[in-house]
Amino acid sequence: MSNTAEPQTNSMSSRQRCPQGKGLENIEALVRSVEETPDPVPTTIQGTIPTWINGSFLRNGPGKFEFGKDSYTHWFDGMALMHRFHICEGNVTYSSRFLRSDSYVCNSEKNRIVVSEFGTVAMPDPCKNIFARFFSRFQIPKATDNASVNFVKYKGDYYVSTETNYMRRVDPQSLETKEKVDWSKYIAVNSATAHPHYDREGATYNMGNSYGKSGFFYNIIRVPPPEEKAAAAEGSADLTGASVICSIRASEPRKPSYYHSFVMSENYIVFVEQPIKLDLLKFMLYKIQGKSFHKVMTWEPQYDTIFHLVNRHTGQFYNSLCRNLPRRYVLPLTVDGKTPMDQNLVTSSNYKATAKKTKPQEVYMTHEELYDDKLLQYGGLEFPQINYDQHNGRAYRYFYSCGFGHVFSDSLLKMDVHTKELKVWRYPGLYPSEPVFVASPKATEEDDGVILSVIITPREEKSTFLLVLDAKTFTELGRAEVPVNIPYGTHGVFNRMG
């Protein structure tokens, strides 16, 4: 292992010496409510911020966890707070705004939680009589528009999104909340993920689900590029032209899988149907029973993990191929009736993964581990990122992620998937967010650029900073210290300017 930040050396042993529970010192500071900062404020620069970085680092995440006497019981439930780090000529300013979702507005007006979220059930209005409160439990659950997960782009416009059928269009400069967008008004899906993919022509791909008498389906969605944008009202949201290019029937119709993302290459889309199941009967009854949505999900390892392969150009569906750590699977793409049974179809000597045809149009795969024991001390991986602009859908060598030593991320990792070499940035008491890669203007190598990550420091007040790492060496270039408190967030994107 190379290039580990110097103070990391004793951090693991010191944590192990802590009494039980002390390893999470001041962890509540990561999920506290904060005030928005709509007007940009200057930051204090330590080190050097490269002058070629010109744009806005946009991040999203929960930022308000109470209304009146009511508090959310799950981190995911906090009201969406949008953050903007504007970087220009080596200087950085910071601003933030709460998303003015219907959920936020209704909760604010009533000064209590009136819209149920992922892990929190909204209680009936105490001002109603007992009969009105009882029958309110039998109403169809209203999906939240608290889009607190990610910034995404469709047809050149920015939106914030979560995992319901609602998104909100936003201004990426002022962070002003625009109109609410309902996916079901454009296409027959009940939800969409917060993690779409983009091709080189500007089209956006996502996944949503639908269900009815014919079963439960996972749908692959395509939204056309900006140049195909229909004549819509000036400055309004536009998802016209969105289409379902393929529908995949759930292997267990009454227990479809929960999913958060999917994989896209230059020619294929891969959806992994895994044993995290949604019980549809519980889904229909969870509000009546006074339970939150996350109670609908169960881990059921008796079900197989299934890889579904789809040609993203034609929508042709190929039959299924039968602690977060990096693994490599190799999917053979030329399986037909002449392919021999029970023979390893992975012919490259560089890979240890295997794939064998076991039935007509069905392949059983085993994985290759892309890590050794050195990675295990940093826990599992989360928030993986690559040089997306140049290598999405193509071969890549490096990925960047957060290492989770306990509950929240406490390190930043860079892994070489060819050599399995690991580089680490880590300091005790600092909690990094998702690493985002930004290429240098004249980059000729895959890792020529910087990594941006927001670092939370719960031991001190107002000590959050934007970290800039050299992506190649994984050494620190500079910090932009923010004079206001920022809670731990989820995902973000870099919006290059000029």
Full pLDDT tens readout for the chain, 498 residues: 334 443 332 222 222 223 333 444 456 667 789 999 999 999 999 999 999 999 999 999 999 999 999 988 888 889 999 999 999 999 999 999 999 999 999 999 999 988 888 777 777 655 554 544 444 554 555 678 889 899 999 999 999 998 888 999 999 999 999 999 998 888 888 888 999 999 998 999 999 988 766 678 899 999 999 875 554 445 688 888 888 888 888 888 778 899 999 999 999 999 999 999 887 766 665 555 556 666 778 899 998 888 898 988 888 776 755 457 888 999 988 888 899 998 999 988 888 999 999 988 889 999 998 887 677 767 678 899 999 999 998 999 999 999 876 557 889 999 999 988 999 999 888 889 999 999 999 999 999 999 999 998 876 666 789 999 999 999 999 999 999 888 888 899 999 885
- In angstroms, the CA 206 to CA 190 distance is 13
3-state helix, strand, coil in the chain (%, to 5): 15, 35, 50
Q: What is the pLDDT of residue 203?
A: 93
**8-30: string of b/e by CB count within 10 Å (b at 16+)?**
beebeeebeeeeeeebeeeeebb
Contact 149, 62 (CB under 8 A): no
Confirm if 293 and 258 have CB atoms less than 8 A apart. Answer: no
Q: Is the Cβ–Cβ distance between 269 and 259 less than 8 Å? A: no
Long-range contact list for 301-307, CB < 8 A, 24+ apart?
A: 301/275, 302/275, 303/251, 303/252, 303/255, 303/275, 303/277, 304/251, 304/275, 305/272, 305/273, 305/274, 305/275, 306/251, 306/272, 306/273, 306/274, 307/270, 307/271, 307/272, 307/273, 307/331, 307/365
> What pLDDT shows up at residue 231?
47
Confidence (pLDDT) at 73: 82
Distance CA(410)–CA(403), nearest Å, equals 6
Specify the long-range contacts of residues 360-363, CB closer than 8 Å, at least 24 apart.
361/318, 361/319, 361/335, 362/319, 362/320, 362/321, 362/322, 363/321, 363/322, 363/331, 363/332, 363/335
Given the structure tokens 């014919």, which residue do they identify? 214
User: DSSP secondary-structure letter at 305?
Assistant: P
CA distance linking residue 482 with residue 362, whole number of Å: 53
Residue from 172, 199, 221 nearest 265 by CA = 199
Per-residue confidence (pLDDT) for residue 290, from 0 to 100: 59
Contacts of 209 (CB under 8 A, 6+ apart): 189, 190, 191, 216, 217, 218, 219, 256
Cα gap 147→170, rounded to integer Å: 11
Task: Tell me the H-state helices in 99-194.
Answer: 102-110, 130-136
Following CA atoms 441, 447, 450, 452 in sequence, which dihedral angle do they give, to the nearest 10 degrees?
130
pLDDT at 350: 86
Tokens, residue 257: 């899988």
Residue 331, H or E segment:
none
Q: Which residues contact 183 (CB under 8 A, 6 or more apart)?
A: 165, 166, 167, 189, 191, 192, 208, 239
Give the Cβ contact number of residue 57 at 10 Å.
24
Single out the residue of 323, 322, 298, 221 nearest to residue 264, CA to CA: 221
User: How far is the CA of 414 from the CAs of 38, 96, 448, in angstroms?
Assistant: 34, 29, 13
Residue 15 has a pLDDT of: 28
d(CA 301, CA 366): 17
Terminal CA-CA length for the chain: 38
pTM confidence score: 0.71
Q: What is the pLDDT of residue 456?
A: 87
CB atoms within 10 A of CB 482: 25
Amino acid 227: pLDDT: 75
How far is C-alpha 57 from the chain's CA centre? 16
**Spatial distance between the Cα atoms of 436 and 14, rounded to a whole number of angstroms:** 29
The single residue listed with the structure tokens 């928030």 is 383
- Contact yes or no for 103/146 (Cβ under 8 A): yes
Using CA atoms, how far residue 482 sits from 54, 96, 450, 486, in Å, is: 18, 12, 20, 8
